[in-house]
Chain A
Amino acid sequence: MTVTALERAERRKAWAFALPGLLWTALFFLVPFAYMAAISFWTRQGREIVATWTLDNYVAFFAKAHFFKGLVVSLEITATVTVISVLLAYPLAWIIAERVPKKWQRFALVMAILPFWTSYVVRSYSWLLVLSKGGVVNQALLSIGIIAEPLELSANRTGTVIGFVHFFVMLLTLTIYANLIQLSPNYRRAAADLGANAFQTFWHVVLPLTLPGIMVGAFLTFVLCIGDYITPQILGGNNELVLPQVIMLQLGRRADFPMAAALSLVLMVVVTLAYIACARWLKMERT
């Protein structure tokens, strides 16, 4: 194929425009990522990283209980958080989309996600104020007399889960709402017209048609939750750690970059597997 001079000049221009962005991504994302992948196969000696190729770090991941447990805890918490958040968010999104008058829907939605705009760190801290031994919930329940001893709602998995659910209920309300209002009203009308009552219309028509959207939201929840360090660190206590916490621990005094890198790659693999499963499921839903 012969290329004209104009096309050559155009090609050069295109590269000139695209290169800055591409180079930035290559230099500050790809290279660090590749480097990190590489050092995950290396080891540490003192403060230096020694470039001897070995699978030690990955072996340690499976062999050493506290490493592997980090992943298990992460998966358990993430699964719990995802399920609870979807179950709580869907009805709220449905109520806003179906029961709230049209001109108030935007307001209702914004109100449902307003706490997004507290800094994420601050938000988790605020839950500490609510859930800790001397916090709002315990003091309220004690003073009414429902409980005699303060409940242990923070510095444990409960605190972490509550902190996460709070965030993801807001996120999922937003995504599920967007999904619901996209649904053509004629589907509901047709179902009603053919004799379906409100529940049947929801169960046979609305729910199946919004399922793909829920799946996407759930996947987003999974990815963000499993990679989060802040909420578990503030609300989770010291007795069990999630994988991000384990990773950060390698950096602290030990400065064990190779191990941190290996654990990070494990995390990435888990997320990738989840992505593949989700994409498969969505493709199946289509046909």
Chain B
Amino acid sequence: MTADVSIKNATKDFGAFRALDDVSLDIAAGEFIVLLGPSGCGKTTLLSILGGFIEPTSGTISIGGRDMTYVSPAKRPTTTMFQDYALFPHMCLRDNVGFGLRMRGMGKAERYEKAFSYLDLVGLRASSAKKPHELSGGQRQRVALARALAVDPDVLLLDEPLGALDLKLRRQMQDELKAIQKRVGTTFVHVTHDQEEAMAIADRIVVMNKGRIEDVGTPASIYMRPRSLFSAGFMGEANFLPAKVVRTAASEAELETTLGRAVLPASTFVSGFPIAGSDVTLCIRPEHFRSANADVPTLSLGHGRITGSAFFGTHHRCHVAANGATLTAHLPQTETPEVGAELDLRLKADSIVVLQDGAGV
């Protein structure tokens, strides 16, 4: 069915290498959560621990309120969808999907019926007599999904399942995964290194780096209000502007950057109100720069000169030099940026995110 998952202070050491460092996370039942990060960040290790293939060095895992830390994969209410699908080559699709049911002692007729219904769910009922090597990559992946779901797990673990597919097929499968998850209601924990994929399918994203959780939240909240430099940089292009806090007031603070001074509202400070004199970093997405004649309240960080520009269809990607700093700005499609032209670095104040150095969750 479905269940919530609670990870408390999970740490995993492989010899001298710490793959997971005191990771804690609560996943709601029925949630589609994505573990996102570069290779080596610990996301696959965490997934393997959830699946029961490795045990944490310390910490606990609870599923549906029950302690599952040391329970073997066979006895856990989880199933895993492997990166290489791991379909049994010598069995037809029907027997592959029915395998877990057979292990549970289900009778032949009942087993076949259920296997067919799950193959139907992924649109491959007609191929049930075929063997895996007769199918395409995308089809094999669907069978792997059907096999994993056929045993009614509480939690489905997906290990970068879409990596081997081409772009178009990947987009299609992302939509299908989302749709199927909504239908069956199982908790899905999905691992990927592709932030676009994460944003497309996740209810919540967990950004990981070097064995720790950097950021947790909905795609929008992580993208618009990242809680660490790493998270900001990983989720998309970002300009990082070092600044110093000059003066603080009740609901705003004045900062000094290489471009000049700016007064920012308190809402831009993600990790607590700053202290005067401290060093911070301004995080600005390239698409937040607006031209001077926008009709919303804006502030200008300063002025810069356009040093290069390329047309990307939906926007112009411009490199801007400003007093020693190099920034990237996305200007609207209808504008005509020219190399050498001056650009007013104007943007909505609350689209800026101010991060303390070394900030994290």
- The stretch from A10-18, A123-131, A195-203 touching chain B is A195-203
User: How many of chain A's residues touch chain B, expressed as a range?
Assistant: 10 to 19
CB pair B51 A193 closer than 8 Å: yes
Does B184 sit within 8 A of A, measured CB to CB?
no
Does B74 sit within 8 A of A, measured CB to CB?
yes
CB pair B90 A209 closer than 8 Å: yes
* A residues in contact with B100, CB < 8 Å: 194-195
In the complex, what distance in Å separates the CA atom of A251 from the CA atom of B134? Answer: 55
Q: Which of A132-182 contact B (CB under 8 A)?
A: none
Does B89 sit within 8 A of A, measured CB to CB?
yes
Contact partner, B88, options A193, A197, A200, A205, Cβ 8 Å: A205
CB pair A190 B80 closer than 8 Å: yes
Q: How far is the CB of A200 from chain B (nearest CB, A)?
A: 6
- Closest Cβ neighbor of A190 among chain B residues: B86
Contact partner, B147, options A187, A194, A196, A287, Cβ 8 Å: A194
Q: Which of B104-131 contact A (CB under 8 A)?
A: 104, 131
CB pair A190 B74 closer than 8 Å: no
Does A106 sit within 8 A of B, measured CB to CB?
no
- Closest Cβ neighbor of A198 among chain B residues: B74
Contact with A along B257-281 (1 / 0, CB 8 A): 0000000000000000000000000
CB pair A194 B151 closer than 8 Å: yes
CB pair A186 B86 closer than 8 Å: yes
CB pair A196 B84 closer than 8 Å: no
In the complex, what distance in Å separates the CA atom of A285 from the CA atom of B89? Answer: 11
Q: How far is the CB of B61 from chain A (nearest CB, A)?
A: 15
Does A31 sit within 8 A of B, measured CB to CB?
no
Does A189 sit within 8 A of B, measured CB to CB?
yes
- Closest Cβ neighbor of B82 among chain A residues: A186
In the complex, what distance in Å separates the CA atom of A186 from the CA atom of B73? Answer: 13
Judged by DSSP, the binding face of A is: helix
Does A204 sit within 8 A of B, measured CB to CB?
yes
Does B44 sit within 8 A of A, measured CB to CB?
no
CB pair B99 A186 closer than 8 Å: no
- Closest Cβ neighbor of B88 among chain A residues: A205
CB pair A184 B74 closer than 8 Å: no
Query: Would A189 and B147 be within 8 Å (CB), given that A194-B103, A197-B74, A209-B89 are in contact?
Result: no
Contact partner, B103, options A186, A189, A200, A208, Cβ 8 Å: A200
Query: Would A184 and B147 be within 8 Å (CB), given that A192-B73, A194-B79 are in contact?
Result: no
Q: How far is the CB of A282 from chain B (nearest CB, A)?
A: 13
Q: How far is the CB of B145 from chain A (nearest CB, A)?
A: 13
Contact partner, B53, options A189, A191, A195, A205, Cβ 8 Å: A189
* B residues in contact with A195, CB < 8 Å: 74-75, 100, 103-104, 151
Q: Which of B65-90 contact A (CB under 8 A)?
A: 72-75, 78-80, 82, 84, 86, 88-90
Count: A-B pairs, CB below 8 Å: 60
Interface size on B, residues (CB 8 A): 24
In the complex, what distance in Å separates the CA atom of A220 from the CA atom of B202? Answer: 54
Contact partner, B86, options A189, A196, A204, Cβ 8 Å: A189
CB pair B86 A194 closer than 8 Å: no
In the complex, what distance in Å separates the CA atom of A189 from the CA atom of B51? Answer: 10
In the complex, what distance in Å separates the CA atom of A191 from the CA atom of B75? Answer: 12
Contact with A along B234-277 (1 / 0, CB 8 A): 00000000000000000000000000000000000000000000
CB pair A186 B74 closer than 8 Å: no
Q: Which of A32-79 contact B (CB under 8 A)?
A: none
- Closest Cβ neighbor of A187 among chain B residues: B86
In the complex, what distance in Å separates the CA atom of A162 from the CA atom of B15? Answer: 46
CB pair B86 A184 closer than 8 Å: yes
* B residues in contact with A191, CB < 8 Å: 88, 99, 103
* B residues in contact with A209, CB < 8 Å: 88-90
In the complex, what distance in Å separates the CA atom of A287 from the CA atom of B132? Answer: 11
* B residues in contact with A287, CB < 8 Å: 131
* B residues in contact with A205, CB < 8 Å: 88
CB pair B99 A194 closer than 8 Å: yes
Q: How far is the CB of A103 from chain B (nearest CB, A)?
A: 13
- Closest Cβ neighbor of A185 among chain B residues: B86
Contact partner, B99, options A184, A197, A204, Cβ 8 Å: A204
Q: How far is the CB of B19 from chain A (nearest CB, A)?
A: 18
In the complex, what distance in Å separates the CA atom of A146 from the CA atom of B90? Answer: 49
Query: Would A196 and B103 be within 8 Å (CB), given that A189-B80, A190-B82 are in contact?
Result: yes
CB pair B53 A196 closer than 8 Å: no
A-B pairs with beta carbons under 8 Å apart, 5 shown: A186-B84, A189-B82, A194-B151, A195-B103, A209-B90
- Name the 10 nearest CB pairs between A and B, nearest first: A194-B100, A195-B103, A186-B86, A190-B86, A193-B73, A208-B90, A196-B103, A186-B82, A192-B73, A195-B74
Excluding A193-B51, A209-B89, 12 further A-B contacts by CB distance (< 8 Å) are A186-B82, A186-B84, A189-B80, A189-B82, A190-B80, A190-B86, A191-B99, A193-B80, A194-B103, A195-B103, A197-B74, A208-B90
B interface residues (Cβ-Cβ under 8 A, vs A):
51, 53, 72-75, 78-80, 82, 84, 86, 88-90, 99-100, 102-104, 131, 147-148, 151
